[in-house]
Structure 1
Amino acid sequence: MLNFEFHNPTRIVFGQDTTSSLHELVPRNARVLILYGGQSAERNGTLAEVRKALGDRTHYEFGGIEPNPTFETLTKAVGQVHARDIDFLLAIGGGSVIDGTKFVAAAAKYAGDPWHILETVGSVVQEALPFGAVLTLSATGSEMNFNAVVTRKATQTKAFFASPHVFPQFSILDPTKTYTLPPRQLANGVIDAFTHVVEQYLTYPVEARVQDRFAEGLLQTLIEIGPKVVHDPADYDSRANMMWAAAMTLNGLIGAGVPQDWATHLVGHELTALYGLDHARTLAIVLPSMLRVRREGKRAKLLQYAERVWHITTGSEDARIDLAIEKTRDFFESLDVGTHLSDYGIAADAIEGLVQQLQAHGMTQLGEHSDVTLETSREVFEASL
């Protein structure tokens, strides 16, 4: 097992009818900016609950944060923070809103060009506004970590940053908030959470038995409940397990002391930036091909994945690996998600532009061994057609 430090200060308040706890969690004298996405938070009553829980605290609202939050929109929110003398942020939504709020929290305290936060992957962040979250979509785990992804429309750049200063102080996780979500968003959440686990698990063995078993349990849970979450009427147990699993996939626990990959995410980002594909859809396209192209470097863990997650114990090593990758693709497709570029009208002539974007963004040595070159990424795109 590799050396590591683990610290997660986010307080989780989990369960039905817990939004009212904002009254105790938000400082009494806070000047609050509520950040949210579209009108669903208003329609489903979550914003009304939040306003009621805040009571007589001074608060303002900023809506319109996109599913892939943009630098351009978020800088407007930073302007509101300064204009209104805001000292506490409250994110109402899924990972995109929470990611965006993390950027606003950091940028509001940064004296330079806020894009530098993303150019330096967060190393320039020395402080941030405190914030909390009310989660309405289970997917990214942003409610319990210090990572965020932001897109700059002007340059079609999707960039990320991380800083311990942007851990949420608290996150409220009420599974009933997911009851009104459409199947597309639910499927995206399952795939996002699943791939988060894979990026930290399917690398190479380092005798991290605890982390491996945690990761395998999360994958099996998502396989069991994923189709039910997407296709069946909402029920508390499946949504509760989905919400907690998604948080656990990226809160630092299963990634402590193990090598991590993230090439699937970084390659997939270019599909979102250039073609507007949902983040999770890019993962469903890229992951099976990424595993196939890089099977030799991941052989030992792929065999472990085949046996422990998919219960594949017979056949040659190559046959077991092939079947495990195919079952992964089948799982995504069982959620009514396309797993090929052609499913989204993207043909072979798009590959060169995608590779050029990776080069422009410095994504030339990715993966746990830094051996995912531009040529490797090209192979992955070709295998994804």
Structure 2
Amino acid sequence: NRSAVITRRATQDKQSFRNNLLYPRFAILDPEYTYSLPPVQIANGVVDAFVHIVEQYLTYPVDARVQDRFAEGLLLTLLEEGPRALAEPENYAVRANIMWTATLALNGLIAAGVPQDWATHMLGHELTALHGIDHAQTLAIVLPSLLNIQREGKREKLLQFASRIWGLEDGDEQQRIDGAIAATRDFFERMGLATRMADYQLDGSSIPQLLLKLEQKGLTALGERQDITLAVSRQIYLDAR
């Protein structure tokens, strides 16, 4: 894709950028190169790809049926193949499916014509920069809380997510949304990634510093509706403790 992220540890900054000149002319994807990765990086890759998809899918409906079905197929593939990648570390077919899913998750295909969020990534970046937590691990911390805090704005797509990805049809709307968020958290934990700041011995005392970094970078109106203000970001961080 055309995106990249650079971390500068000396200033505890993590910045993303994108430009069409970054697109490769071609890419060779060989699943066997992933065999040597430690399990935590396989888990990180699966969760990162999952959240990439969610950032382009769990927004609000615009009748983009093809894009929705693409995204849902990719999510279901990660749910099926992610645990297998940990259990069967040299299963070529599993690694190939994950590698292709990860590619399609962020090469622009599922982004065509739909609103995008990316607030989970922005909030997660600050946790990585300040505390050194792996990127995907911060996403696993932030996403369930962001979905909880933003449940009204994302209501229609959360219900679709609950039904099509998790098979949740019983109960009222709030119960189904609760179930979808809980199932997402459970999937991250089954992949071996913790989903609370407390799991990394963080008590929330650094939240003011995290918010200051967001403010300094001008990240004060995040999300698909640009309604995740610093106050809302604070709520998300607090919910994620």
Give the SS at the match of 1:256: coil
- Return the offset for 1:153: 2.6
- Quote how far apart the aligned CAs of 1:233 are: 3.4
State the secondary structure of the residue aligned to 1:378. Answer: helix
Which of residues 210, 214, 217 is equivalent to 1:358?
Answer: 214
Q: Distance between the aligned counterparts of 2:216 and 2:97, measured in 1?
A: 40
Aligned residue identity for 2:207 = I
Alignment-derived partner of residue 26 in structure 2: 170
1:23-78 per-residue CA deviation (whole Å, 9 max, x = no partner) reads: xxxxxxxxxxxxxxxxxxxxxxxxxxxxxxxxxxxxxxxxxxxxxxxxxxxxxxxx
Aligned residue identity for 1:335? M
The answer to whether residue 125 in structure 2 is matched with residue 287 in structure 1 is no
Q: Indicate the residue corresponding to 2:236 in structure 1.
A: 380
- Residues in 2 aligned to 1:234 and 1:284: alpha-carbon distance in whole angstroms: 25
Please tell me the residue identity of whatever aligns with 2:178.
Answer: D
| Cα deviation, residue 152, structure 1 | 2.3
Q: What code does the residue aligned with 1:195 have?
A: V
Amino acid at match of 2:14: K
What is the count of residue pairs matched by the alignment? 241
* Residue 180 of structure 1: how far off its partner (Å): 1.5
1:161 positional shift: 1.1
- Of all paired residues, the percent bearing the same amino acid is 58
For the pair shown, which has the larger CA radius of gyration, 1 or 2? 1
Q: Shift in Å at residue 171 of structure 1? A: 1.2
Q: Which residue of 1 aligns with 2:205?
A: 349
Q: CA deviation at 1:316?
A: 0.3
Are 1:191 and 2:42 an aligned pair? Answer: no
Equivalent position amino acid for 2:58 in 1: L
Which residue matches 2:5? 149
Distance, in Å, in 2 between the alignment partners of 1:232 and 1:353 is 41
Aligned mate of 1:326, from 182, 186, 194: 182
Partner of 2:173: 317
Larger helix proportion of the pair: 2
Deviation at 1:361, TM superposition (A): 1.5
Bigger strand fraction: 1
| Aligned equivalent of 1:254 | 110
Residues of 2 paired with 1:348 and 1:266: CA distance?
Answer: 17
Partner residue of 1:160? 16
What residue number does 2:86 align with?
230
2:59 pairs with 200, 203, 215, which one? 203
Which residue is equivalent to 1:55? none
Q: What corresponds to 1:337 in structure 2?
A: 193
Corresponding letter in the other structure for 2:129: A
CA shift for structure 1 position 154: 3.0
Alignment of 1:370 with 2:221, yes or no, is: no
* CA offsets 1:83-115 (integer angstroms, 9 cap, x no match): xxxxxxxxxxxxxxxxxxxxxxxxxxxxxxxxx
The amino acid of 1:188's aligned partner reads: N
The one-letter code sitting in structure 1 at the alignment partner of 2:184 is T
Q: How does the TM-score come out when normalised to structure 1?
A: 0.62
Aligned-pair CA distance for 1:206: 0.2
Q: Give 4+ residue runs of structure 1 displaced > 2 Å after superposition.
A: 152-155
* 1:274 positional shift: 0.4
How far has the Cα of 1:336 moved from its partner?
Answer: 1.0
Deviation at 1:207, TM superposition (A): 0.3
Alpha-carbon distance between aligned partners in 2 of 1:166 and 1:183, rounded to the nearest angstrom: 29
Deviates more, 1:146-155 or 1:215-224: 146-155
Displacement, 1:156? 1.7
- Structure 2 residue ranges without an equivalent (≥5): none
Does residue 214 in structure 1 map to residue 70 in structure 2?
A: yes
Please state how far the C-alpha of 1:231 moved relative to its aligned partner.
2.8
Cα offsets for 1:132-155 (capped at 9, x unmatched): xxxxxxxxxxxxx11111122332
Q: Which of the pair has the greater relative contact order for Cα pairs under 8 Å at 6+ separation?
A: 2
Superposition deviation, residue 172 in structure 1: 1.2
Whether the 8 Å CA contact 1:183–1:231 is kept in 2: the answer is no
CA offsets 1:291-320 (integer angstroms, 9 cap, x no match): 000000000000000001111111100000
What are the residue-to-residue correspondences of 1:60-79 with 2, within 5 Å? none
Q: Distance in 1 between matches of 2:125 and 2:71?
A: 24
